[in-house]
Amino acid sequence: MASRSSAIVRVTLGELMRVLPSARFGLAPGPVRRAAWARALRRSFERLGPAFVKLGQLISVRPDEFSAELVAEMQGMQDAVPAVPAAAIRAVITREFGAEPEVLFATFENEPLAAASIAQVHRATLAEEYRPVWGETLPAGAEVAVKVVRPGAAASILSDVEVVRRMALRFAGTRVTRRFDPVALVDEFAATVDRELDLRQEGRFADRFSFDFRDDPKVQVPRIVWTRSTSQVLTMEFITGWRLSDLEIARAAGVDCKGLAIHGATAFMRQVFVYGRYHADLHPANIFVTPQNTIAYLDFGIVGYLTPEERMNITQVMAALVYRDPDRALRYSEKLGVHVPPGHVEPVRAGLGRLLDGDVRPDGTRDFAHFGLGFLKLLGEHGVAIPSGYGLLIKSLATVEGVARALYPEIDIVSTAQPFTTRILGQAMGDPVRVRERMPAAVRAALRVLTE
């Protein structure tokens, strides 16, 4: 194994060094050079295999640490791989349950619906009805999607994770990694892979999400069939619908895209501001609109969490966006772990003011992505470390805005958040502890007014 890893390291380093900024891009303008390098790096990651594909996907949700060009390029990372023969998938199911698929299901299709680096999905039908803890019963004969961890995937990917770790140690402290800590990124990456290799974790969050929105008929989550699920096999309700690339077909079928855009954005605000846990990977492949005029959420591999205090601070940052208040944005970002060195506070405040002034689109709606991603870029330019949760949330809000605008271009994501932020701030104003905390500042403000 050691010799194999050493060989992979040599090949990988050679592959990556080949696409690092070089004479090929040296004379090109900065944005062109960065875009060319990002494109070459993405293609190299795809050639290097599953672990690097997963790493690329992690980079795609981390605009706090990577350039806009690299993040955008990694969003196009392809996780499609040749399918494992059906016999190998059937063997995994048989090993997990002690029975062949034909015994466990009424039907099981050998042709996969999708094949990715960690798991492969096959269509099946239930042999008997399934009654979840909440939600409607799935009847016998109901279509389900059976997600199965590919044989050998865990050993292969975990071995490559160690390769990535050795690379991170090699690049730590160099100019290439001046904007991020490569070892910390690999640790986060390893934790993500561990979660994905145990399909029960995805199933648990899907159930939690379904429970959170049990009173919302417009939000649909696949019901998990736990009697046919293990760490290596996850059986879930099969949902049909249209991806965002098929919206014209959906509209022709009578889907209310405008209504679903507004409802979907509101649902995300509810995840963030009410529950403090949110789907953090809502790219177009993970969200459908259905013939029943619902929004279907799929693939809960990347999840974000917020404490009550973090939710309050995020609320204040959103309020700063509404009122164009750079001081408030900086003050509450500091509470979220964004520490701007004293010597950089004024230029960061000035840059933030320009972002706040420039976030209005020609149609009068506000552009959260312009503000949020611009803020992350501004902090990066001043060498400010950004907590991963903060960057992930801003990226998720920007993604939700993009998804919503694909459905309804005139949507204003900031206005969608206002009812939630107003409610939270109103509740905080009634909190005696917070009233006592705010009293000295209120008195000082009143004295300034009286003496002017």
pLDDT digits (tens, 9 = 90+) for 76-118: 766 667 889 999 999 999 999 999 999 999 999 999 998 888 8
Cα–Cα distances in angstroms (integers) from residue 314 to residues 196, 347, 391, 412, 417, in the given order: 28, 22, 12, 18, 11
State residue 398's pLDDT score: 86
Helix (H) or strand (E) holding 143: strand 143-149
Q: What is the pLDDT of residues 267-289, one digit of tens each?
A: 999 999 999 999 987 877 788 99
Q: Can you tell me the mean pLDDT for 324-338?
A: 92
Is the per-residue pLDDT at 128 higher than 70? yes
Amino acid at 284: P
Q: Of 35-39, 59-63, 169-173, 253-257, which one has max mean pLDDT?
A: 253-257
The larger pLDDT score, comparing residue 196 to residue 252, is at 252
Residue 224 and residue 431: Cα distance in Å, rounded?
A: 40
Residue 256 and residue 245: Cα distance in Å, rounded?
A: 16
DSSP annotation string for 182-208: HHHHHHHHHHHHHHHHSHHHHHHHHHH
Residue 374 and residue 376: Cα distance in Å, rounded?
A: 5
Query: Which residues lie closer than 8 Å to 193 by C-beta, 6 or more apart?
Result: 51, 54, 118, 157, 158, 161
State residue 344's pLDDT score: 93
If pLDDT is split at 50, 70 and 90, which confidence band does 244 have? confident
Residue 196 and residue 304: Cα distance in Å, rounded?
A: 15
Q: Which residues are catalytic?
A: 281
If pLDDT is split at 50, 70 and 90, which confidence band does 223 have? very high
Is the per-residue pLDDT at 3 higher than 50? no
Is the per-residue pLDDT at 19 higher than 80? no
Q: What is the pLDDT of residues 28-54, one digit of tens each?
A: 556 777 888 888 888 888 777 777 877
The larger pLDDT score, comparing residue 186 to residue 314, is at 314
Number of Cβ within a 10 Å radius of residue 17 = 9
Is the per-residue pLDDT at 63 higher than 70? no
Contact between 50 and 157 (Cβ < 8 Å): yes
Q: Can you tell me the mean pLDDT for 416-433?
A: 77
Exposed / middle / buried, residue 256 (Cβ in 10 Å: 0-12, 13-18, 19+): middle
State residue 2's pLDDT score: 44
State residue 20's pLDDT score: 52
Number of Cβ within a 10 Å radius of residue 190 = 18
Mean pLDDT of the chain: 82
- 117's tokens: 């680096």
Question: Tokens 């993604």 map to which residue?
Answer: 399
The larger pLDDT score, comparing residue 138 to residue 373, is at 138
Residue 400 and residue 215: Cα distance in Å, rounded?
A: 21
Of 6-20, 39-53, 90-104, 209-223, the range with the lowest mean pLDDT is 6-20
All domains of the chain, ordered by start, with CATH?
A: 2-78 (no CATH), 80-165+181-238 (3.30.200.20), 246-435 (no CATH)
Answering whether pTM is above 0.85, one says no
State residue 164's pLDDT score: 79
DSSP annotation string for 313-380: HHHHHHHHHHHT-HHHHHHHHHHTT----GGGHHHHHHHHHHHHHT-B-TTS-B-HHHHHHHHHHHHH
State residue 24's pLDDT score: 45
State residue 436's pLDDT score: 53
Is the per-residue pLDDT at 418 higher than 90? no
State residue 1's pLDDT score: 44
Ramachandran category for residue 14: left, alpha or beta (phi over 0 → left; psi -120 to 50 → alpha): alpha
Across 164-297, the runs of DSSP E, i.e. the strands, are 219-220, 233-237, 277-279, 287-289, 295-297
- 299's tokens: 């693939």
State residue 16's pLDDT score: 53
Q: Name residue 252's beta-bridge partners.
A: none
In degrees, rounded to 5, the angle at the alpha carbon of residue 424 between the alpha carbons of residues 423 and 427 is 85
Q: Can you tell me the mean pLDDT for 396-401?
A: 87
Q: What is the pLDDT of residues 131-178, one digit of tens each?
A: 988 788 999 999 999 999 999 888 888 888 888 788 778 777 666 556
- 249's tokens: 């077909």
- Percent of the chain at pLDDT exceeding 70: 84
Nearest partner of 139 among 152, 150, 128, judged by Cα: 128
Nearest partner of 130 among 142, 147, 112, judged by Cα: 142
State residue 29's pLDDT score: 56
SS3 99: coil
- Percent of the chain at pLDDT exceeding 90: 40
State residue 43's pLDDT score: 83
